[in-house]
Amino acid sequence: MLIGVISDTHGFLRPEAIEALRGVEQILHAGDIEDPYTLEQLSELAPVTAVRGNCDTGELRALPLSVALEWAGVRIFMLHIQEDLDLDPATAGFQVVIVGHTHQPRMEERQGVLYLNPGSAGPRRFKLPVSLARLRLEQGRAEAEIVQLFKPI
């Protein structure tokens, strides 16, 4: 199963992000959406699961702060700010933790858990890349890749 992971769009869904997500079976948005229309656009590509970020207001406040998901034998926990994680993912049986907030793409494995931050696919911030991620799940295993839409200046 191929999952698109996106975060921190801040009301701006780039055409390059849409193209990079074509063909995924599911999209996960790790918060700071800011415009509900972004979720509508993404849902034209694949089903979307989203969490609320610290910049999400109005009707987006109805989104959960975190979600636990499972596909292809892989348990995923998603929230916007990693420091708000109030459980030990390894002990709780999660193989993947997805976060956003920092706008810095990052993949790191600790204690058998893949921590994935797709970076920001919205407006450029400082000299950080504009990116998202793809997550491939297969028979209880997860592999991720960061997809840079624009490199840092």
Query: Which tens digit of pLDDT belongs to each residue from 92-101?
Result: 999 999 999 9
> Mean pLDDT, to the nearest integer, of 79-94?
96
Q: How many domains, the chain?
A: 1
pLDDT over 80 (residue 14): yes
Boundaries of domain holding 78: 2-150
Task: Specify the CATH number for the domain of residue 111.
Answer: 3.60.21.10
* Burial 1-31, CB ≥16 within 10 A → b, else e: eebbbbbbbbeebbeebeebbeebebbbbbb
Token pair of 58 as six digits: 């109005």
How many CB atoms within 10 Å of residue 102?
A: 16
Q: What confidence score (pLDDT) does residue 153 get?
A: 56
pLDDT 10s digits, 23-60: 999 999 999 999 999 999 999 999 999 999 999 999 99
Which residues are 10's β-sheet partners? none
pLDDT tens digits, one per residue of 107-119: 999 999 999 999 9
Sign, CA torsion 50/54/55/56: positive
| pLDDT value at residue 151 | 65
CA distance 39 to 47: 10
Q: Is the pLDDT of residue 150 over 80?
A: no
Pairs from 63-67 (Cβ < 8 Å, separation ≥ 24): 63/31, 63/33
> What are the respective helix, strand and coil percentages of the chain, to the nearest 5?
20, 35, 45
Please report how many Cα atoms fall inside a 13 Å half-sphere around the Cα of residue 29, on the Cβ side.
Answer: 34
Angle (nearest 5°) at CA 101 between 40 and 1: 55
